[in-house]
Structure 1
Amino acid sequence: MKKILILFIAITSLATAQKKNITLEEIWNGTFRTERMNSLNSMNGDFYTLQNFNKETRSTTVDKYSYATLEKVETIVDSKDLEGLKYFESYSFNNNETKLILGVDTEPIYRRSSLGVFYVYDIATKSLQLIDKEKIQEPTFSPDSKKVAYGKNNNIFIKNLETNEVTQVTYDGLKNSIINGICDWVYEEEFSFVKAFEWSNNSENIAFLRFDETEVPTFSMEFYGKTLYPTQRVFKYPKAGEKNSIVTLNLYNLSEGKSTKIDLGNYEYIPRIKWTNDSNILCATTLNRHQNNLNLFFINASDFSTKIVLNETDKAYLDIHDNLTFLKDNSFIWTSEKDGFNHIYHYSKNGKLINQITKGNWEVTDFYGVNEKIKTIYFQSIEDGSINRTIYAVKLNGKDKRRLTNASGTNNASFSKNFAYFINTFSDANTPTIYTLHNGKGEKLKEILNNNKLSKKLETYNLAKKEFFTLKTENGEFNAWMLKPVNFDANKEYPLFMTQYSGPGSQSVSNRWNGANDYWYQYLTDLGYIVVCVDGRGTGFKGADFKKITYKELGKYEVIDQIESAKELGKRAYINKNEIGIWGWSYGGFMSSNCLLKGNDVFKMAIAVAPVTSWRFYDSVYTERYMQTPQENPSGYDENSPLNFADQLTGNYLLVHGSGDDNVHFQNSMRLTNALIEANKPFDQAIYPDRTHGIYRGKNTRLHLYNKMTSFIEENLGEKASNLKLLKQ
């Protein structure tokens, strides 16, 4: 028996030895890239469209497919047939799908915004019509398809497609001063939208937001490029406690050619505007500066009267979402955390609660819509466990809830407009993405696309299995995962490398397929490290109380939880409690910095990429949502800022930032650099010129960064680091 066991171990070891280890080059050259479906656009009826590239003709197409068969029905437009337009980069339909807007020469501005040249394509006549000679933003068909509204030079314009006449709606737009119909930087970044104008359903009115950012402080960044002199980018950026744009809601009536400012009382933000199913009633959402008092207004476009139909308050803060949905009778669907978990509610058109549709100690994570014919709502939730996502249907009255996807893991649905079909995107920690077609009842009709080739390829590599578990500490029980080396020996001690993000409402421990960083963690296990991720207090999908405990104290409880988690993990016989490191990016970099400084008896090293080093430097909307203003809560800002604990650095620290980061400004790292210099603390630093928050543009940027971080880990954590230290001595 002993001989058989030895033989089995020998064969297993040989098999492992014959497999390859992942290389950093492979991670960043696309070797492990998953096959994906192009983003589809659901059409009227049982059809959808995809934008494709024809390799033979080197042209761009919009192709129409049947949900029922997944077969291509027709090509709606092919750029080879368009005179003067060899390709296009984007497309959008009008309401009755007789015309498209095609975009080319896209020029990014910030995270979501861009400029471009846009054309209207008429499907019946196959004609192409240039909207404007200059680059414009957010061109949008009127519901009657006769006009297109768009933003240009901070003003709103309307083009009549029948007469080619262009009407200028606003005239006061001015860079770094007044913006009409397009969001300012902080709205785009934190409220997640760009187009701040909306057509009424009868095409008679346009509602739009006007941003007066005259008194918002200006931020500037140097760009080094390849020219003799650097250039400078200057834009308005409201930091915590500073002046925001003054935002007003306006209604422009096309027949009168007149704009009217709407009185919404006292508010700081208007994070959403949306027309109801009554063409005469506009809905606007307002928030106070603390973002804990929300009003939903109905505005009458005829007499400009306003009515609050819903008011919601919270002892901490309220999150803005896009789940507001109006039914034919103008009653509406709304999601809220008011019972402690995010759930779906149904209100009458007068704002009276009809019923709470979903209930339980779990959260709705996505709302897909309503099929009014069968009075059914479709949504995604974590009822199958907070690290999973599952698709469900439930009647409008809250009864007859049905699970539409069976596999435990991460399911995301893309429904047809009539909800007769949906395409499900599934993955888990062991299964790369699979796309399947289902009918509205959830029955699987067909597999569309899988990643079996990638699975086969990965069988030739040494891969550690991601182990999910619950980590118990004195402050709570937290979701976690662990990767151990393939040749793991429980009788050995391993260095521990921790990864986390930890931001409010975020989730890093989820049952889904690998991202690029997951392959890096696999690479680190090949080098002999155990890698662990823990979602502590403040992260999402475990109820409002768990998430909002960090209110007014960002970086306090989250840091405590990472330190305590490291201590608990260090008690395990196979983990060397004296060899623990941590890293993070953005909020995670803020966290890893604080963990090394405040947990200097636990963590030996840390890497911080693009970290916030003081919330005083970050934008008003995000920061004040969780912290109030620095004037109101100075201790919350300063007692959790790495700047004020630089003298406590005893471990090894690598600070990384892109100098062109318009989000978490380079200023954060420069101020921490100064604090460390003044404290006479040695540290390592890597600056990536002109790179933005993601540090990815430019040849070999990501490869260079991950080579740098890997070398730093090897030199400062584990057996190799100890040997290097002995050699130096």
Structure 2
Amino acid sequence: MKIKSFIGLVGLCALTGLFSPTESMAQKQFTLEDLNFGGTNFYNMRPETRYLTWWGGKLVRQDLNSCSLVDPVNGKETQLFSLDELNNWAGLTKPEEVVRHLYAAEFPYADRPVVIVQNGNEDLYIDFKAHKLEQRLSRPSGLQAREWNKQSGATAFVTDNQLYVTDAKGEKHQLTTDGSSDIVYGKSVHRDEFGIDGGLYWSPKGNRLAFYRMDQSMVADYPLISVPELDWTPKKGESRAAKAAPTKYPMAGETSHKVTVGVYDLTTGKTIYLQAGDPTDRYFTNIAWSPDEKAIYMFEVNRDQNDCRLVSYDAATGAKLKELYRETDAKYVEPCHPIQFLPWNDKEFILQSQKDGYNHLYLFNTDGRQLKQITSGKWVIMDVLGFNSKQKSIVYVSNECNPIQRNAWLVNVASGKRTLLDNGRGYHHPRLSKDGNAVMDSYSEPSVPRKYEVITLNGKPKRHEYFTSANPWKDYKVPEYTNGTIKAADGKTDLYWRMVKPVDFDPSKKYPTVIYVYGGPHAHNVEASWNWGSRGWETYMAQKGYLLFILDNRGSEHRGKEFEQVSFRRLGQEEMKDQMEGVKYLKSLPYVDQNRIGVHGWSFGGFMTTSLITNYPDVFKVGVAGGPVIDWKWYEVMYGERYMDTPQTNPEGYAQTSLLTKAKELKGKLQIITGLNDPVVVPQHSYSFLKACIAAGTQPDFFVYPGEPHNMRGHQSVHLHERITQYFEDYLKPITSAKEER
């Protein structure tokens, strides 16, 4: 097995060493209140954040009590207005109506000095040059979805399951009357797969609204329950008992919902539906408008998810206009991005596809003809930020510099010439200005907590330093964070890992080791951000004397189609093989206690944890599996069938990946944790595994969080991570008591 240290292809070679130096003189100790996102001191222990937004081409800093213009070259700030001034200009004096902070202030109009702020119940539009309130829009109680259009001033929203539109004059129009828990309007459909994160889509000028209508009356109810809070007092005649809180949950191979797309015209007041045909066993996603508002484009995917078509429709009649593009794949096609029209040519658009093996940009015209492939290479486009019209270029984010980096680039559409915009190192989260002439870049590197730069794009791109966050951990004793690669089980593919060594690490000692794992699609753990992307809990465990190891196996994201699709129809199998290559590496290290290896993960990571401890019972002594998938036949249709096909067409795969038959193999200590109201990995998974263990005579431990969904919210997350930690403390630490000998 080949082991090699990580060396960046472009920028990371500039780093000195592979880790952040341990500050040996620091003596402070971390608590979970410091390191966990639900902790009381968590936000004080994060690198300082600057809240920034764009006002057209001008950069604005949003702060608690003021908003200021930022000079992009020298970083000098000039106050636009204060919070007190804003409340005074708007005539807000009552405690329940005043604006309390400006972190979320928005500047929708590039050519007008208008700011949008919220007071909890209203959106307030204030002219900060004329010092007056222009408009106040109330937010209805029980708001379920909302989308405002700055061009027409109209707002679409859903409340009490019905869809409404309020026009610029404030007149409310009710578009639906049959909305219910069965008939869902204007919200995400297909369980948020295919890049969907909403259900309301305004046309460019705000004259028309496209929206989803989902009929899920035919989908089985899943019987979740709602547990009353401790301080809840029932109303007169109301029972104290827990109540049924069913959710619609289409399981793999079972009946799924049906989605249609409606279009409301503000000028005529009429609603039509796209004539896409029978919606049974089809997915409609990535809705986009033509610049002239006359056509709607969307991707249509069959239930097998191996046939994807881009289709255009007449927005006035709903009639089908043209099929512009079709992509098929032996395994699956997964469109996650709408097409984007070029600002300088309303007859051409860019389309993202993995059809050459990696997600790249392609140029098409409205006749459906591919004009060219704009980007190519063994790297992926991670995000398209927008366009620079002056240079007729696209600004995007990719991992071309290195598979675990995220960097900003500009590509000329005509020539295909690419220009790196940032420093070529680290993990960047850039935001393009509305005019496309500047980028606000927030980023970190393994030894840099957080930095902000402004990149100007007029002529040759130039980087201007704005703000560097101090290291909030400088007074604490921190572990050593390292990074490298090993070969996958296929013997050829590089896999990236992160290691967190115990505080006061002594290479002559042997340490209990915990592997943290996720391993599933659309996620990664290892990246070239601060401390190599390490989670706070890892630092907490290192402080307690553990070595932490995290490996991104094949099947995880941003490494190309072949890398991602290796798990098709056999989820977890190749992933386990790769994780065991990580175990081989760990066993080659003299300071790893081979007899005390544990594993922990959540969701897909919970599935991996349970898979590893039952498939390799002589390797893993302790495991903590959170929200674990136990049998994929109980997971939802869209995700489950994409990677596993249906139980009817892939019975061997479902049987091989099911952990119910593995319950008898459990030897080590395994704790399963779930939220009682988990609507993602429903509790049936955990309960069924417990029942299988009872039948097999094995003894897992179990803990449930009443009323909680898939992830624990707020301060309960601190409780959760203390519980996880204590389990390893009880059963993985070196033997010091009779309890641990048992």
* Shorter-chain TM-score tier: 0.7 to 0.9
Encode CA deviations 1:15-43: one digit per residue, 9 max, x unaligned.
947634433343233252221122x4323
Change (3 A) 1:629 1:101: farther
Measure the CA separation in 2 of the matches of 1:650 and 1:526: 28
Offset of residue 640 of structure 1: 0.9
Match of 1:34 among 35, 47, 50: 47
Match of 1:666 among 673, 683, 686: 683
**What corresponds to 2:718 in structure 1?**
703
**What corresponds to 2:168 in structure 1?**
161
Offset of residue 340 of structure 1: 0.7
**What corresponds to 2:262 in structure 1?**
250
Matches within 5 A, 1:263-274: 263-265=275-277, 268-274=282-288
Match of 1:182 among 179, 187, 194: 187
**What corresponds to 1:308 in structure 2?**
323
Identity percentage of aligned residues: 28
Measure the CA separation in 2 of the matches of 1:15 and 1:280: 62
List runs of 5+ in structure 2 lacking aligned partners.
1-21, 233-239
Measure the CA separation in 2 of the matches of 1:91 and 1:500: 38
- Residue 481 of structure 2 contacts residue 532 of structure 2 at CA under 8 Å; is this kept in 1? no
- Residue 555 of structure 2 contacts residue 575 of structure 2 at CA under 8 Å; is this kept in 1? yes
Encode CA deviations 1:631-685: one digit per residue, 9 max, x unaligned.
2222222321222210110111111112132222222212212111221111222
Offset of residue 571 of structure 1: 3.1
Report the residue type matching 2:474 in the other structure: K
- Residue 514 of structure 2 contacts residue 597 of structure 2 at CA under 8 Å; is this kept in 1? yes
Matches within 5 A, 1:115-514: 117-119=121-123, 121=125, 123=127, 125-131=132-138, 134-142=141-149, 144-162=151-169, 164-174=170-180, 176-184=181-189, 186-187=190-191, 189-224=192-227, 225-226=229-230, 227=232, 228-265=240-277, 268-303=282-317, 304-322=319-337, 324-327=339-342, 328-440=345-457, 441-448=460-467, 450-454=468-472, 456-457=474-475, 460-471=476-487, 473=489, 475=491, 476-514=493-531
Encode CA deviations 1:183-210: one digit per residue, 9 max, x unaligned.
34x43x3345453232333444322221
**What corresponds to 1:540 in structure 2?**
557
Give the TM-score normalised by the residue count of structure 1. Answer: 0.87
Match of 1:591 among 605, 608, 630: 608
**What corresponds to 2:623 in structure 1?**
606
Change (3 A) 1:180 1:518: closer
Measure the CA separation in 2 of the matches of 1:505 and 1:521: 22
- Residue 567 of structure 1 contacts residue 577 of structure 1 at CA under 8 Å; is this kept in 2? no
Offset of residue 50 of structure 1: 5.2
Change (3 A) 1:633 1:74: same
Measure the CA separation in 1 of the matches of 2:400 and 2:196: 29
Report the residue type matching 1:180 in the other structure: Y
Measure the CA separation in 1 of the matches of 2:248 and 2:489: 44
Encode CA deviations 1:676-720: one digit per residue, 9 max, x unaligned.
12211112222222122221334xx2332222222211222242x
Change (3 A) 1:636 1:100: farther
Matches within 5 A, 1:13-92: 16=24, 19-27=27-35, 28=39, 29-30=41-42, 32-38=45-51, 40-44=52-56, 46-49=57-60, 51-54=62-65, 67=72, 69=75, 71-72=77-78, 74-75=80-81, 78-80=86-88, 81-83=90-92, 85-87=97-99
Encode CA deviations 1:336-380: one digit per residue, 9 max, x unaligned.
111111111111121211111111111122211221221112112
Change (3 A) 1:488 1:127: closer
Measure the CA separation in 1 of the matches of 2:664 and 2:511: 29
Encode CA deviations 1:383-411: one digit per residue, 9 max, x unaligned.
22111112211211243321111242112
Change (3 A) 1:26 1:131: closer
Offset of residue 233 of structure 1: 2.0
**What corresponds to 1:11 in structure 2?**
none
Measure the CA separation in 2 of the matches of 1:152 and 1:706: 36
Change (3 A) 1:342 1:144: closer
Report the residue type matching 2:559 in the other structure: K
User: Secondary structure of the residue that 1:454 maps to in structure 2?
Assistant: coil
Report the residue type matching 2:728 in the other structure: I
Measure the CA separation in 2 of the matches of 1:138 and 1:48: 29
Measure the CA separation in 1 of the matches of 2:579 and 2:498: 14
Change (3 A) 1:67 1:75: farther
Q: How many residues align?
A: 686
Offset of residue 413 of structure 1: 0.9
**What corresponds to 1:686 in structure 2?**
703
List runs of 5+ in structure 1 lacking aligned partners.
1-13, 55-60, 106-116
Offset of residue 503 of structure 1: 0.5
Measure the CA separation in 2 of the matches of 1:500 and 1:423: 33
Measure the CA separation in 2 of the matches of 1:74 and 1:64: 7
Encode CA deviations 1:108-127: one digit per residue, 9 max, x unaligned.
xxxxxxxxx44453636514
- Residue 193 of structure 2 contacts residue 639 of structure 2 at CA under 8 Å; is this kept in 1? yes
- Residue 147 of structure 2 contacts residue 200 of structure 2 at CA under 8 Å; is this kept in 1? no
Report the residue type matching 1:324 in the other structure: I
- Residue 337 of structure 2 contacts residue 352 of structure 2 at CA under 8 Å; is this kept in 1? no
Measure the CA separation in 2 of the matches of 1:180 and 1:713: 46
Q: Relative contact order (alpha carbons < 8 A, sep ≥ 6): 1 or 2 greater?
A: 2
Offset of residue 521 of structure 1: 1.9
Offset of residue 548 of structure 1: 0.4
Across the aligned residues of Structure 1 and Structure 2, the Cα RMSD in angstroms comes to 2.8
Measure the CA separation in 2 of the matches of 1:689 and 1:515: 34
- Residue 715 of structure 1 contacts residue 724 of structure 1 at CA under 8 Å; is this kept in 2? no
Offset of residue 586 of structure 1: 0.9
Offset of residue 432 of structure 1: 0.5
Measure the CA separation in 1 of the matches of 2:148 and 2:490: 57
User: Secondary structure of the residue that 1:572 maps to in structure 2?
Assistant: coil
Measure the CA separation in 2 of the matches of 1:413 and 1:653: 41
User: Secondary structure of the residue that 1:126 maps to in structure 2?
Assistant: strand
Offset of residue 131 of structure 1: 4.4
- Residue 389 of structure 1 contacts residue 410 of structure 1 at CA under 8 Å; is this kept in 2? yes
Measure the CA separation in 1 of the matches of 2:156 and 2:100: 20
User: Secondary structure of the residue that 2:251 maps to in structure 1?
Assistant: coil
Offset of residue 263 of structure 1: 1.6
